[in-house]
């Protein structure tokens, strides 16, 4: 019991230490830093895939945040920075890709897979139901079942 509690405590402690940390301060004014993080939170880290550039601490994310800061210091707007990075890396870099013809499957794919999965399950259940036939027990089957029950009650069936 105590060993389980210690194991759980160790797992919780390990999970707590793995939590994502806020991106490091990259320079400039606090307002500029917040602008950089605002733009970086709309863009995906291409190394981590599941994190935004603001959340990730990979080398790629750090470099991208510095590049975003440089572009902003050179007078580019948030929209211009995002458009530049999308032109360079494609819609893959957007954390929430826009809805257009090339991203339709990305938006509707999971729902489509769910509907197809439910359809396949339904068809298989219908086929199974047709294969299962209720066959009534014959008189011989009834006699054998009654005999087995009697043996079980009398203790003869136990080894």
Q: What are phi and psi of 80, to 5 degrees?
A: -65, -40
- Structure tokens that stand for 147 in this block: 């005999």
Residue 123 counted as domain residue = yes
Residue 6 counted as domain residue = no
CB 49 within 8 A of CB 93: no
For residues 68 and 115, state if they share a domain.
Answer: no
pLDDT level of residue 104 (50, 70, 90 thresholds): confident
For residues 47 and 63, state if they share a domain.
Answer: yes
Domain that holds residue 127: 104-154
Residue 11 counted as domain residue = no
pLDDT score at 72: 92
For residues 25 and 77, state if they share a domain.
Answer: yes
As for how many domains the chain has, the answer is: 2
- Rounded CA-CA distance 37/23 in Å is 8
**Closest by CA position to 23, among listed 7, 5, 35, 11:** 35
Q: What digits encode the pLDDT tens for the residues 25-66?
A: 666 678 888 889 899 999 988 888 788 888 888 898 999 999
For residues 46 and 75, state if they share a domain.
Answer: yes
Q: What Cα–Cα distance (Å) separates residue 75 from each residue in 40, 79, 94, 131, 150? A: 17, 12, 22, 71, 93
- Per-range mean pLDDT, top range of 21-25, 117-121, 145-149: 117-121
For residues 58 and 87, state if they share a domain.
Answer: yes
Please report, for the domain that includes residue 60, its CATH number: 1.10.8.640
For residues 94 and 110, state if they share a domain.
Answer: no
């Amino acid at each position: 019991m105590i060993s389980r509690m210690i194991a759980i405590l160790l797992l919780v402690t390990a999970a707590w230490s793995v939590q994502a940390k806020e991106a490091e301060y990259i320079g400039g004014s606090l307002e500029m830093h917040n602008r950089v993080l605002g733009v970086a939170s709309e863009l995906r880290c291409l190394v981590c895939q599941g994190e935004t550039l603001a959340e990730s601490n990979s080398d790629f994310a750090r470099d991208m945040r510095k590049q975003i800061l440089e572009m902003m210091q050179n007078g580019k707007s948030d929209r211009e920075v995002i458009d530049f990075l999308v032109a360079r890396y494609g819609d893959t870099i957007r954390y929430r890709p826009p809805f257009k013809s090339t991203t339709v499957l990305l938006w509707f794919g999971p729902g489509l897979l769910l509907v197809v999965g439910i359809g396949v399950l339904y068809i298989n259940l219908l086929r199974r139901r047709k294969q299962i036939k209720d066959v009534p027990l014959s008189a011989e089957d009834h006699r054998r079942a009654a005999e087995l029950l009697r043996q079980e009650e009398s203790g003869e069936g136990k080894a």
